[in-house]
């Protein structure tokens, strides 16, 4: 059984998380999304605090991301936008004397920068295993925010989707029989980067373990039963997005437990960002038109 659920933005994500569950359910205080026995599991945020972070953003996480971006700006060369000289008949910036003397009517010269914003779609797995260290989650979310900032500074239009995956059986225990994919668009390509919101949705444990859990608790009863989303606190086995989902994105950032070494330290995370930019050609182009060159020092 495969079950897919798509949510268009953070506002609808919050609305659905607040909504009622389907079928039988115990009191809200007994649901995993509202548990208060282990607050470290949700980054210290209770249900109300998680909603507040989702609505207002995570300023502490955004500050960490800004610090990380400042480091990256020292190693990632700035964009140099190249202009093209265009000959026109109408008055322009200046006259090309040689062309004018030949009697050619199109002797005016204008400067023109030709750039067509190219969309870049990124998918990040937002499901966190309890074994994933907090520093890995924060570094990973900050890396994504920095990557988006760098790409948009080069003229790309970036969309960021976050997916939450539950599967049966556990990863490594055989072929996946049951699969639940909850996908949320946290940033549309035509929206400016909101660091507070993006870092919360990709790095704070309260986002998957409060809001995403709440939506998963509202899945149809049959889906919950097959995946082990029970009312005694169990939320099934987290997994990774299927290849059929990954192929729709230019970049996929997997479940952190599968790639935690890339984000184990600030240096490792910095290396991941620069290698991602280089390997995918973003250091050689800007919006599919201009070229990036290192400044002379």
Give tens-digit pLDDT for 28-87: 445 788 888 888 888 899 999 999 999 999 999 889 888 888 888 777 765 655 444 444
Nearest-5° angle of CA 32, CA 198, CA 293? 150
Which range scores top for mean pLDDT: 91-105, 188-202, 248-262? 188-202
Q: pTM for this one? A: 0.80
The per-residue pLDDT for 73 is 75
- Output the six-digit token pair for 68: 């990380």
Higher pLDDT: 17 or 297? It is 17
Average pLDDT over residues 229-252: 85
The per-residue pLDDT for 71 is 82
How far is 76 from 286, CA to CA, in rounded Å? Answer: 13
The per-residue pLDDT for 235 is 81
Q: Domain spans of the chain?
A: 2-78+117-279
The per-residue pLDDT for 154 is 82
What mean pLDDT, rounded, does the chain reach? 80
The per-residue pLDDT for 217 is 86
pLDDT of 296 > 50? The answer is no
DSSP-assigned states of every residue in 46-61:
-HHHHHHHHHH--HHH
pLDDT of 186 > 90? The answer is yes
- Output the six-digit token pair for 16: 């659905």
Q: Which residues contact 282 (CB under 8 A, 6 or more apart)?
A: 150, 151, 154, 156, 276
Using an 8 Å Cβ cutoff, are 89 and 105 in contact? yes
């Amino acid at each position: 059984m495969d079950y897919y659920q798509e949510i268009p933005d953070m506002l609808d994500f919050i609305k659905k998380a607040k909504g009622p569950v389907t079928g039988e359910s115990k009191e809200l205080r007994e649901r995993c999304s509202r548990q208060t026995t282990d607050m470290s599991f949700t980054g210290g945020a209770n249900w109300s605090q998680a909603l507040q972070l989702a609505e207002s953003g995570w300023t502490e996480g955004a500050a960490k991301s800004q610090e990380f971006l400042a480091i990256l700006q020292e190693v990632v060369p700035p964009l140099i936008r190249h202009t093209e000289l265009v000959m026109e008949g109408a008055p322009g910036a200046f006259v090309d004397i040689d062309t004018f003397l030949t009697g050619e009517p199109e002797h005016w010269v204008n400067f023109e920068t030709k750039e067509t914003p190219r969309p870049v779609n990124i998918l990040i797995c937002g499901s966190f295993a309890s074994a994933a260290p907090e520093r890995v989650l924060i570094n990973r979310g900050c890396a994504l925010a920095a990557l988006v900032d760098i790409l948009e500074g080069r003229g790309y239009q970036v969309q960021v989707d976050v997916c939450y995956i539950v599967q049966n059986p556990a990863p490594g225990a055989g072929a996946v029989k049951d699969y639940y994919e909850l996908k949320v668009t946290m940033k549309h390509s035509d929206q400016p980067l909101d660091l507070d919101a993006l870092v919360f949705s990709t790095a704070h444990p309260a986002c998957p373990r409060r809001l995403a859990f709440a939506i998963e608790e509202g899945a149809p009863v049959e889906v919950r039963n097959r995946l082990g989303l029970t009312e005694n606190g169990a939320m099934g086995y987290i997994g990774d997005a299927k290849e059929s989902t990954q192929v729709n994105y230019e970049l996929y950032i997997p479940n952190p437990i599968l790639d935690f070494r890339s984000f184990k330290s600030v240096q490792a995370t910095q290396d991941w960002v620069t290698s991602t930019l280089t390997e995918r050609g973003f250091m050689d182009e800007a919006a599919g038109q201009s070229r990036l060159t290192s400044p002379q020092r």
